[in-house]
Amino acid sequence: MRKAIAVLFISAFAAAVFGQNSTIVKKELSPAEIDRIIKKVTANESDFRGALTNYVFNRSATVQIIGMGGQVTGEYRRDSFMTFNSDGGRFEKVVFSPVASTPPGFVTPEDLEDLGGVNPFALEPSAISHYNISYVGTQRIEALNL
């Protein structure tokens, strides 16, 4: 999974580096140019991870059980303040959570994690040795050349 994400980032960044427009440009890259692209991507990812420490948002999660006739028969609600700490981990402070009227265990911690979204992936230079990154080329995705 990590390898696929890393290849996707490399491909997307390579398209941005070469400024492709609506025509597909077939260009063979030298190993030195590929290494330069990978280093540039990891440097940008490090900047992205640093910017996350300044990013905050509010999350309001409501899960309802809808009974016969369309009426709400149970509800779970949790409002949170979300931010990222200096190591890139997500921090949540629950600011409002009334007593749930759903059955116990109806909303699991995994459900709440899914409602909060996925942690952004950042490929940092310090972790580059944990990945096998290779440039596989460009590809057209709808109207974009990536």
Of 29, 22, 23, residue with least CA distance to 11:
29
- Decide if pLDDT at 7 tops 80: no
Are 107 and 82 within 8 A, CB to CB? no
3-state class of 100 per DSSP? coil
For residues 15-21, give the mean pLDDT. Answer: 48
Task: Return d(Cα 56, Cα 82) in angstroms, integer.
Answer: 6
Give me the amino acid identity at 143: A
What is the CA angle 10-13-16, rounded to 5? Answer: 155
Encode pLDDT of 65-102 as tens digits: 999 999 999 999 989 888 877 766 778 888 998 999 99
Encode pLDDT of 123-140 as tens digits: 666 777 788 877 777 777
Q: What is the pLDDT of residue 91?
A: 80
115's CB contacts (< 8 A; 6+ apart) are 59, 61, 63
Task: Confirm whether pTM is higher than 0.95.
Answer: no
For residues 30-52, give the mean pLDDT. Answer: 80
Q: Which pair of tokens denotes residue 129?
A: 């040795």
Q: What is the pLDDT of residue 20?
A: 46
- Decide if pLDDT at 61 tops 50: yes
Q: How many CB atoms lie within 10 A of CB 49?
A: 19
For residue 121, name the pLDDT band (cuts at 50, 70, 90). low
Q: Which pair of tokens denotes residue 86?
A: 């200096």
